[in-house]
Structure 1
Amino acid sequence: MRLIASDIDGTILGHDGKISDRTIKAFQACREAGVELVFVTGRPPRWLFPLQEQLGHSGIVICSNGAVVWDLHTGTALSSSALDVPSVLEARRIIKSLRPDALFAVETLTGFQLEPGFIENGTSELLSEFTPAPLAETLAADDAVVKFLAVTRNGTPDAFLAEVQPAVAHLVSTTHSAPRTALLEMSVPGINKAVTLAQYAESLGIDAADVVAFGDMPNDIEMLRWAGHGYAMASGHPDAITAAGQQAPHFDDDGVAQILEAKLTEQRV
């Protein structure tokens, strides 16, 4: 074990916004043992504060499902893969033709743009600073869109993904990470957590065989397959569990911490 790559939400971070003490101690022990640590998340850079505040992490985070490599220490993007605006608007048109009730938003390197109604009931503490408006009016030609989002209040995330993914595959790569909300996350074709993680590991001279990865949702599937030791949370999505082939115990039982503790013990023997 030379590199740990961990998803955040549902893997180490609960709905209460907390990382357990046991998980924090397990990561600290890995650092002290000389193991590299990178977090690989669908979150944008502005939502990484739990890593800094609770874990004291100041290193690299792969954000937006692989579209951005962010340096927490300097607060800058080391690399990014952005969708062009025409592709975003065309994908929006196609999805709207399939699901007229769909609403959209985009994550850019400089901020967030959302359409009216994208946030249910029009409220969200994390998004309250942004003013809703049609994307066709707010998107500028030079906006670097690192994640395109589509939401519908009808149906399941899996059904929405199955319907939309083949229709827009020529324009965007599509996945989801929301357990209950039918929210799709789209990025540059060919970009996912695994692709960017593999590049990062290679830059450190670390092979996939020496990577331990943790995740819980469909946006983690490629990463869990790529890593030499991919663990899906027992509390995770069935497709992630199938892809990983190995399970970490349930999130509520500090599954990531349990696996890391066992692996550190093995390395010391």
Structure 2
Amino acid sequence: MRLVASDMDGTIVGHNGQISDRTVRAFEACLAAGVEVVFVTGRPPRWLDPLRQLGFTGTVICSNGALTYDLGEEKVLSADLLDAESILKAQEIIRGLYPAATFAAETMDDFLIEPGFAPTGSIELLGGLEPRPLNETLNGNGAIKFLAREVDITADEFLHGVAPAVEHLVATTHSAPNMPLLEMSLPGINKAATLAKYAAGLGIEQEDVIAFGDMPNDVQMLGWAGHGYAMSSGHPEALAAANLRAPAFDDDGVAQVLEERLTSLKSA
């Protein structure tokens, strides 16, 4: 075990936005033992407060692999942008399949939302953003993540209906278990691809990487890592992709696995 890569939401972060004390201690113990730690999330840099509150100053792979961020320096290290033309073409295809779909885009500098994307009453929570069509707000610029939202459909149904239709333009996944919200990025970009580059840069082999995740956007990462742990409380696709299983999130599953592995390292 030389590198621990962990998803955030549903894996170590709960609905209250907090990370348990036991899990915090487990990550601190990894760092003290000389084990590298990287967080790999669908969140953009502006939504990393749970890690900031921990005092974590390392690297975070954000937006499902589209962006690598130095949390200590609060700066972007690398980014793979989805071009505006592909976004608008994918949007047109999705609208043809799901006319009620609404859209948003996360750029390097802004969060752009179209009318209807944000639930009623939540605009203020998003900083008072002005909803406008993406063909007006993108201004030809790329995005680190393109999002589509629907209603009266499950997230899995939405994903399986959209992904094949737009696969020539974008890579599509989802990370919200109870919300039909799709996340799209540049084809070939996912958590696994960026994690592999990060590990290689540290001189760490695939078999020395332990990864934790719980949702479809973790599937490639769990399959790539030498030791991929799906949370027992996770999505069926994540459970199928992983070669190992961690106890449920509510049982501090990540902490349990790390504690056991650290004990094994000390006794080796």
Q: TM-score range by the shorter chain?
A: over 0.9
| Corresponding residue number in structure 2 for 1:88 | 87
- Structure 2 gaps of 5+ residues are none
CA distance in 1, matches of 2:228, 2:240: 11
Amino acid in structure 1 at the alignment position of 2:15: H
CA distance in 1, matches of 2:86, 2:15: 33
Identity across matched positions, percent = 61
Pairs within 5 Å for 1:64-213 = 64-123=63-122, 126-141=125-140, 143-213=141-211
Amino acid in structure 2 at the alignment position of 1:84: D
| Corresponding residue number in structure 2 for 1:252 | 250
Change (3 A) 1:9 1:260: same
Q: TM-score, normalised by structure 2?
A: 0.98
CA distance in 1, matches of 2:125, 2:233: 26
Q: TM-score, normalised by structure 1?
A: 0.97
- Structure 1 gaps of 5+ residues are none
CA distance in 1, matches of 2:227, 2:65: 19
Q: Secondary structure at the match of 1:256?
A: helix
CA distance in 2, matches of 1:56, 1:151: 33
The Cα of 1:33 is off from its aligned counterpart by 0.3
Q: Secondary structure at the match of 1:213?
A: strand
CA distance in 2, matches of 1:38, 1:140: 33
The Cα of 1:27 is off from its aligned counterpart by 0.5
CA distance in 1, matches of 2:19, 2:100: 36
Q: What per-residue deviation string (whole Å, max 9, x for no partner) do you get for residues 20-62 of structure 1?
A: 0100110111110000000000000001111011x21111000
Q: Secondary structure at the match of 2:165?
A: helix
Amino acid in structure 2 at the alignment position of 1:196: T
| Corresponding residue number in structure 1 for 2:34 | 34
CA distance in 2, matches of 1:124, 1:27: 35
The Cα of 1:125 is off from its aligned counterpart by 5.8
Change (3 A) 1:236 1:184: same
Q: Secondary structure at the match of 2:87?
A: helix
| Corresponding residue number in structure 2 for 1:50 | 50
Give the aligned length. Answer: 267
CA distance in 2, matches of 1:23, 1:9: 13
